[in-house]
Amino acid sequence: KNESSSSSSSSGKGTWRADVISGPFKEPPSKETCAAVRICVQELIQPVLKQMEAWTNDERCQAASTLHTLIILGQDAVVTSESLPRVLQALMKHVSDLEDPSYPKVCQTLRTIGCLLPVGSWIEHTLRSLQTNAEGGHSAWLVLLNEMVKGTPKGSLFPYMLKLSRVLSRRSIALSEDRPTRFFARAAMTSLLLHYDNNNSSAAGGGGGAPTGSGG
């Protein structure tokens, strides 16, 4: 199977995109495999989130990789078990250090969340966090938003485009004195525009570089 192709997932409401998901699965896992994980996904996720706080790089990288797999297999059950807010909070703590060895896998997990989980399940929580945090505390949530947007299926963000644009245009974000906040706000807006463009022209989009370090 062509790994850059997209197809409807056999085990969830999202769209399977091998180019976004990558990891151990080249195609959607079987319904039987997913069903076994979904039964106990909450119990499986909790120790993984704890391991992400480990001191050693190897343990954090292993935890991020395991969490990525659990998102693929658990999908909607991650939402219905009310585990997603804790997952996002845990991932948010690991995107401020761009040199952390777990950072690439954390970003891959975020793109997989955008790809396979219902948009409304993560976007409302993320926007709420962006609107309630004090100025200078937005950059990590902007990284989360940017990465999840990159993974979303075509057209799935349309109902939220106006709300997203309004939040990203807020003075405390767009004109923040915190340089990483301004950078990642622009990056998120660029990803939104690419999402819109890809839906209309099927053009491929990508992200740019990032500043050294990020605040908040």
Q: What is the mean pLDDT of residues 12-27?
A: 71
pLDDT reading at 214 higher than 50: no
Contacts of 101 (CB under 8 A, 6+ apart): 57, 60, 61
Among 111, 46, 110, 38, CA closest to 79? 38
- To the nearest 10°, report the CA torsion of 36, 49, 209, 167: 90
Residue 13, helix vs strand vs coil: coil
pLDDT reading at 100 higher than 60: yes
pLDDT reading at 216 higher than 50: no
The pLDDT tens digits for 61-85 are 999 999 999 999 988 889 887 889 9
Contacts of 208 (CB under 8 A, 6+ apart): 187, 190
Q: What is the mean pLDDT of residues 198-203?
A: 57
Residue 74: both structure tokens together = 């658990």
Instruction: Read off the pTM.
Output: 0.81
The pLDDT tens digits for 158-176 are 899 899 999 999 888 988 8
In terms of C-beta density within 10 A (0-12 exposed, 13-18 middle, 19 or more buried), how is residue 83 classed? buried
In terms of C-beta density within 10 A (0-12 exposed, 13-18 middle, 19 or more buried), how is residue 177 classed? exposed
Among 182, 109, 174, 185, CA closest to 142? 185
The confidence band for 135, taking pLDDT boundaries of 50, 70 and 90, is low
- What pLDDT does residue 155 have? 84
- What pLDDT does residue 143 have? 93
Q: Maximum distance among all alpha carbons in the chain?
A: 50
